[in-house]
């Protein structure tokens, strides 16, 4: 089996590559990644990099010729590559549409021209739903993206759907909820809180921190993608699957839980809320459970403990990123501000 993974040097992609490499010793894995600020070759263990089962291509998913060549030599494609940070998308949205929509267009077009391909797993996001109109949120929940990131991912999600309907591409659309775990960039809220707490600095919370998310540990997501990759085609192709835990926790609760687990003296400071903030998310995972028997296995308490341990043991990985803790975005007057 030859698996092409786009965006494999990022947070979820690198966890998935390592998971696949360990679980399937005969698989060949090809990663295509542009190594933007979010991609990091250190995310791959050295033994994996040295292995002849692993090939790395530094390149852009918008490069049709390169993508066509790599897809034509793969059996399955898992497409993670994207610009992923909501707050950055409020500062500079153009590259979100270019990477997330046009990059997905390049991948889906290559898939269309590769009839031998077994399946194409497109990694979408729960952000496409916007705030919950009802909970738990199933896959039929209206798509009401509230930020440029979410709308770009929504465009990509619907592009893949339309290619399945029009050209019959063997796509599976996955909508993970909020992932956390080792190797997540410090711009994202859980690692940001962890490193702030480890350094005994204030945790900055947007709004009153009452907005909830369905937090899922990254290995649970990897297992879900694995099952979708190997299930009988008729159970998954052409379908959309949420990957979440069915449990919601507010950001302020996460902050307090982390401070307690780390036993940190840091305080919590509330600042103005971010525009487009999603107020509530809680997934229904009934569709993926019925199709492939997946259920989340890691509780938020266990997952946070594992994540804290990883950041405690990998200061060399995250200290280089501390300067990126502040993220620029544009306010309603078009002024750039840093949060």
Ligand X SMILES: NC(=O)c1ccc[n+]([C@@H]2O[C@H](COP(=O)([O-])OP(=O)(O)OC[C@H]3O[C@@H](n4cnc5c(N)ncnc54)[C@H](O)[C@@H]3O)[C@@H](O)[C@H]2O)c1
Kindly tell me which residue out of 3, 4, 11, 278 binds ligand X, with binding defined by CB under 6 A. Answer: 11
Kindly tell me which residue out of 109, 114, 147, 179 binds ligand X, with binding defined by CB under 6 A. Answer: 179
**Is 80 among the residues that bind ligand X (CB under 6 A)?**
yes
- Characterize 312-334 residue by residue with b for buried, 16 or more Cβ atoms within 10 angstroms of its Cβ, and e for exposed: eeeeebbeeeeeebebebeeeee
Largest CA distance in the chain: 58
Number of residues that bind ligand X (CB under 6 A): 30
Kindly tell me which residue out of 5, 48, 56, 60 binds ligand X, with binding defined by CB under 6 A. Answer: 60
Residue 136, preceding bond cis, omega within 30 degrees? yes
Nearest to 120 by CA among 80, 154, 92: 80
**Is 57 among the residues that bind ligand X (CB under 6 A)?**
no
**Is 35 among the residues that bind ligand X (CB under 6 A)?**
yes
**Is 81 among the residues that bind ligand X (CB under 6 A)?**
yes
| CA 276 – CA 211 distance, rounded (Å) | 12
Kindly tell me which residue out of 88, 105, 119, 153 binds ligand X, with binding defined by CB under 6 A. Answer: 153
Element (H, E) at 259: helix 251-262
CB of 127 to ligand X, least distance (A): 7
**Is 104 among the residues that bind ligand X (CB under 6 A)?**
no
Per-position x/- string for 14-33, each x denoting binding to ligand X as judged by CB under 6 A, each - no binding: -------------------x
| CA 206 – CA 339 distance, rounded (Å) | 9
- Vertex 89: Cα angle to 84 and 92 (nearest 5): 125
Interface with ligand X (CB under 6 A): 6-7, 9-13, 33-36, 38-39, 60-62, 80-84, 99, 103, 123, 125, 153, 176, 178-179, 185
């Amino acid at each position: 089996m030859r698996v092409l993974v786009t965006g494999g040097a990022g947070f979820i992609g690198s966890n998935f590559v390592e998971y696949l490499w360990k679980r399937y010793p005969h698989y060949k894995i090809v990663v295509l990644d542009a190594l933007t600020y979010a991609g990091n070759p250190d995310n791959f263990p050295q033994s994996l990099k040295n292995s002849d089962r692993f090939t790395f291509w530094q390149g852009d998913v918008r490069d049709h010729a390169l993508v066509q060549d790599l897809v034509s030599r793969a059996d399955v494609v898992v497409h993670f590559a994207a610009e992923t940070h909501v707050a950055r998308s409020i500062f500079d949205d153009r590259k979100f549409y270019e990477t997330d929509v046009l990059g997905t267009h390049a991948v889906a077009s290559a898939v269309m021209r590769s009839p031998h391909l077994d399946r194409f797993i497109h990694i979408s996001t729960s952000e496409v739903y916007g705030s919950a109109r009802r909970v738990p949120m199933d896959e039929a929940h209206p798509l009401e993206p509230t930020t440029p990131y979410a709308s770009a991912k929504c465009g990509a999600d619907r592009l893949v759907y339309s290619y399945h309907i029009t050209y019959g591409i063997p796509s599976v659309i996955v909508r993970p909820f909020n992932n956390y775990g080792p190797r997540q960039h410090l711009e994202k809220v859980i690692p940001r809180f962890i490193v702030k707490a480890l350094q005994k600095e204030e945790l900055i919370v947007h709004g009153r921190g009452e907005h909830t998310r369905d937090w899922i540990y990254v290995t649970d997501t990897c297992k879900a993608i694995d099952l979708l990759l190997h299930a009988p085609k008729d159970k998954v192709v052409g379908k959309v699957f949420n990957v979440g835990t069915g449990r919601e926790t507010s950001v302020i609760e996460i902050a307090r839980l982390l401070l307690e687990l780390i036993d940190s003296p840091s305080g919590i400071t509330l600042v103005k809320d971010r525009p487009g903030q999603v107020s509530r998310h809680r997934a229904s995972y009934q569709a993926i459970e019925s199709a492939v028997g997946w259920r989340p296995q890691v509780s938020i308490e266990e997952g946070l403990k594992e994540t804290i341990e990883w950041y405690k043991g990998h200061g060399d990985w995250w200290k280089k990123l501390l300067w990126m803790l502040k993220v620029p975005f544009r306010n309603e007057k078009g002024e750039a501000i840093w949060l």
